[in-house]
A and B are shown apart, each in its own frame.
Chain A
């Protein structure tokens, strides 16, 4: 639980660092803070500890998810060098908010008491509302922030009602109490309240991980938010949300699988179909990535629907593969769209921005290609094994028709992922060589190497769980 304390302190420290004349120190300081938290998260490795009066539980699984979240945050922050060039931006505050939001994410990952789940979700969400609207003069950013905020708080309300009902029927917010209550048969209290409470709670979290039909905010918000924070949202929030769902469903509510299994299955299918089909039509790369993120929520949901022995590893691996590839893709988008749009013009985030990119920028082209291949699940990238493991969980459960849908939809996804590759390599464009700062480049290269290495040696992650 060290990272929670550390990150809170570091966040406050960063706010003070913001008073310094030079902004140059902020980026390395933030990176250092995240790195320290990353290291500190492994202190509890191999031990199951309850913290803060049984509020949080630290296990290897929660540490693995924490590590993924911190790694994603590290990579996103290291792509944020453009802040420092912008005069009006207040980087110290953004960095501090990001650190605070990580606290929320870690609480969602390792909660033992539902109160902590709520507080974690809210810390993360409120931080995201602010970051989404951080481009204050951009109307699109404003609109995205308001949409996210209104719908997010609405979803929070629903989730809270669910929590209250669960409390009313079981008399406790503690996961292990809920587990024994559920497993002891629904002896006292009304089962209707239990089911209703669980359903509303699920809807609240499904909203956060943008599963259909609760996904409507995602494309608009992802498109409107500054690209950097889109990358942050689509990785950190999603990983934390799925960790929370996994904790809830695989620990407390396995006893009533027959109730939520069907609902989750329906949600999974709708998510997969809607996201993949809609992504086909998009002309904006960024918006396509939003639908892509919804579709990956669908694949992750498969592992939850077919919750079993492998689900944990599958979710960890998939989140890692997805986060790394997504950040690499957004990283390339950031430099390319900034390069393609001159002074004063709106940034170009469509597929056309990538036309002919690879001619003069073979490295960026390659990074993007690997990221797209991984997201599409082509072998010898991490994404392939992620999909493979997730699909195996469904096969193990014997939910074969879900597998068929998932495999079909992953074929559809090839279409929109490959559009970028085709644009980069086969279309003509006047893209000149883009200068990429060395550190930025190293992070992107590291992400690419990680994607390939995990594609060749997927067992490396096994030691994580």
Chain B
């Protein structure tokens, strides 16, 4: 009973925060808005902690908290109930934990904004829907949370709504998410017709009796994956996420990095039985995920907007997560969700701190040398960068390595591509770090005068997240490194159904410890190497005096120009990569957006033509009616369909 109460409280507390700040907008005193808004997430985080410890104490027994019979009409029964198991608890911890920190940060970040109360209310509402999404015990509740977070994301992207580009970004996000939602909704109906229920426990129980490669399951999983593509920004529905950076930075951190965008991964892991039943979907997912990871990483190489770099990096990391899922490394995917939430939230909040200090400047070409002025931000940002680059022993290394190890077993080419992507990741992240915090300050004098470290409400979350980014990886230290894969062990019961339908996919590690260590060595080495390249290009080079007009002997010239290594890099690596990145960026911007735009244009044109039918004249209305009637009669009575079909041999 106590557990059920906790289950109710967890989503209810943020909702109360929303109601308090939403109804009392402009009436609640400004000093009270922050505490009110933070209280909800923090208290529900405590509730989650207590629920978690109960769960551990009770021998990891998953249970369902049935709140009430939500709707039951004929053979449609939907309960309003929460599923508490390993998966939802992990997501709950991330959502409320990171969520609380970001709420705290927002107090400092948004305090002087006109719509402060409204902003905090929306954040709370978002948290409520996100909690519904992860706690629900059936697809309908998940869908409601899914739509709800989309709506909040829309509201928050367009929060500074005076600017039209912000509005366009919000609309784009909404349209792309809607496309995904359509797939999800159709998937739910197909699940309902196939299994007669939308409750996870029923669906998965009956799914275990099906054979691998079942056509219906294939359709279901593909439809659900379309939903995941929209929400988790995979090709071709990814262009909204970088644009969504138009919203305030805490929103980018919470919604577009740590929580909402990982909903797609959550959904796939939740439905792992279905996905295991459909290897073809997993293949498709793997292809799309790899392409997304590489494409986004290569675009990230040339971005100069601090938030855009992080946005493309998020898209790329989401690709890695799906890559893990596509080789049935469900734990690996979730592990990366977890660590990514820590370090990406950290990086976004760090970026927010920089933007705050730079008086809303976001272009890294105008930054530089900020480590002297923002020491805490610098150090935490550095930790985040190391973590995301996959350099041991920080969090990102373990999770990325887990995914890559599984990919290696599955497909060596994909693995190589994955390592290439991770090299790019390391490069663009260190480039970002160096350009922002090292070298000379390149901004205006006014900006320089204004530079200051952020207040404690902003730096405290940074420090907490930095600590988590350092130690987060220890949750799941692989056996090869002397750990015992605690997270994998914890989550193992979730895949019982999958194991039953396809034991081969869960063969466990077939490779030896030495092979695994070698893989780790390679990926860590590549990441380090990219970091060094970035260092050479952006720190060392920047310090070299430019003119080379002086006459020098040939050897001296070679030495002076550092053996033309840079030029070599330039021609062989940087230019092709840049060209590739440019090309891919154009693909994203023009092809994908073009298609979306074309569809919108088509709808408008068809609409414009169609409305002309409505010409206002009674005569033509009646004529249309009679004509349609005649048509129906002709089609129904004067054409013998059975003979027509027989004639056509259908």
Contact = CB atoms under 8 A, between A and B. Distances in A.
A167 B115 CA distance: 67
A95 interface: no
A41 to B, nearest CB: 22
A407 B182 contact: yes
Contacts, number: 138
Contact of A220 (B144, B161, B616): B616
A310 B193 contact: no
A172 interface: no
A396 B185 contact: no
A425 B72 contact: no
A72 B624 CA distance: 32
A280 B606 CA distance: 10
A396 B193 contact: yes
Contact of A216 (B144, B167, B614): B614
Contacts of A196: 633, 637
A280 B179 CA distance: 17
B611 interface: yes
A392 B192 contact: yes
A181 interface: no
B466 to A, nearest CB: 37
B257 to A, nearest CB: 24
Interface in B587-644: 603-604, 606-608, 610-611, 614, 616, 618, 621-622, 624-625, 628-629, 632-633, 636-637
Given A214-B625, A388-B140, A411 B178 contact: yes
B148 interface: yes
Interface stretch (A107-115, A242-250, A398-406): A398-406
Interface stretch (B73-81, B442-450, B576-584): B73-81
Contacts of A203: 625, 629
A385 B606 contact: no
A404 B167 contact: no
A459 B69 contact: yes
Nearest to A459: B71
A391 B186 CA distance: 10
B69 to A, nearest CB: 6
B317 to A, nearest CB: 28
B361 interface: no
A352 to B, nearest CB: 17
Interface residues of A, number: 68
Tell me if A's interface is mostly helix, strand, loop or mixed: helix
- Main SS of chain B's interface residues? helix
Interface in A192-222: 192, 195-196, 199-200, 203, 207, 213-214, 216-217, 219-220
Contacts of B74: 308-310, 313
A158 B628 CA distance: 13
Contacts of B625: 151, 154-155, 203, 207, 213-214, 216
Contacts of B158: 426
B22 to A, nearest CB: 10
A37 B520 CA distance: 78
B70 interface: yes
A403 B190 CA distance: 10
A395 B606 contact: no
B335 interface: no
A52 to B, nearest CB: 32
Contacts of B75: 309-310, 396
A134 interface: no
Interface string A430-465: 000000000000000000000000000111001000
B151 interface: yes
A408 interface: yes
A369 B547 CA distance: 63
A199 B161 contact: no
A379 B182 CA distance: 13
A282 B72 contact: no
Interface in A238-289: 259, 262-263, 266, 274, 277-282
A314 interface: yes
Contacts of B174: 414, 418
10 contacts: A196-B633, A196-B637, A262-B636, A277-B606, A385-B71, A395-B193, A403-B189, A412-B603, A457-B70, A462-B72
Interface of A: 146-147, 150-151, 154-155, 158, 192, 195-196, 199-200, 203, 207, 213-214, 216-217, 219-220, 259, 262-263, 266, 274, 277-282, 308-310, 313-314, 317, 362, 378-380, 384-385, 388-389, 391-392, 394-396, 398, 400, 403-404, 407-408, 411-412, 414-415, 418, 422, 425-426, 457-459, 462
Interface of B: 25, 68-76, 140, 143-144, 147-148, 151, 158, 161, 167, 174, 178-179, 181-182, 185-186, 189-190, 192-193, 603-604, 606-608, 610-611, 614, 616, 618, 621-622, 624-625, 628-629, 632-633, 636-637
Given A308-B74, A422-B167, 7 more contacts: A147-B621, A310-B75, A313-B74, A379-B148, A392-B192, A395-B189, A415-B603
